[in-house]
Amino acid sequence: MRTFVYIDGFNLYYRMLKGSPKLKWLNPKQLASDLLSPANKVERVCFYTARISPRPSDPNAPARQAIYLKALASVPEIRVHTGSFLTSEVWMPLTQPPEARPKVYNWSQPLPKAVRVVKTEEKGTDVSLGAHLVRDAFTNMFDVAVVLTNDSDLIEPIRIAVQDAKKTVGLFAPVEHPNQGLKAVVSFCRHVRKQHLSKAQFPDPVVLPDGSLVTRPSSWR
């Protein structure tokens, strides 16, 4: 069965990878193949992410991401689709009483009801994923599709692909209890666990198409 896999990179990162650097050298094509049956021929893996910017707390993050994107490029079936991050300063209400890290932060009296914060939002990736899934379903690009996400914004594109395009669309769930709306519209569900990620790591180093090598970032070892 011709199988396409659509990976919500933002969701994958925050649900499974953020606190586990040793799992970040992930080969998503290998992960998909391991989770599916031998009858599924994984012909394309669409990986949706956004280019990150350096921050004072982690100035090397963009360089690590660039290395990982090079590793992804070594797999012919993987296509990377990039959105963008929108950063803005907005007023946000505080919980009452507020909490802070570190705990020793001394809130002034009287306590403010709102503070100005830096808010970062990922733009474009979930829209692209949903649009590509629907397009590929109606143009008969696949027999089976699988979406790795727990984002309820993708319920409607998946529903259209299943109910209107009459395609089989599964869910790779990166959480123990997937969104119920997603579970209601997909054809099947597989839970992604950390042992699956551990098994599906790239070799180190990775050989690129031009013969050059790219190595796992040292902080991911």
Is residue 102 reached through a cis peptide bond, with omega within 30 degrees of 0 on the bond before it? yes
d(CA 41, CA 1): 6
The CATH code of the domain at 2-86+124-220 is 3.40.50.1010
Between 219 and 107, name the one with better pLDDT. 219
pLDDT tens, position by position, 113-134: 888 877 666 666 889 999 999 9
Domain boundaries, given as residue ranges, for the chain: 2-86+124-220
Distances (CA, A) of 154 to 5, 6, 33, 97, 169: 14, 11, 22, 35, 12
d(CA 100, CA 107): 9
Best-predicted range by mean pLDDT among 75-84, 93-102, 110-119? 75-84
Residue type, 54: P
Contacts of 109 (CB under 8 A, 6+ apart): none
Written as six digits, the tokens of 160 are: 């259209």
Percent of the chain predicted with pLDDT > 70: 93
Confidence category of residue 98, pLDDT binned at 50, 70, 90: confident
Confidence category of residue 99, pLDDT binned at 50, 70, 90: confident
pLDDT at 26: 98
Give the pTM.
0.86
Contacts of 9 (CB under 8 A, 6+ apart): 47, 48, 49, 50, 125
Confidence category of residue 42, pLDDT binned at 50, 70, 90: very high
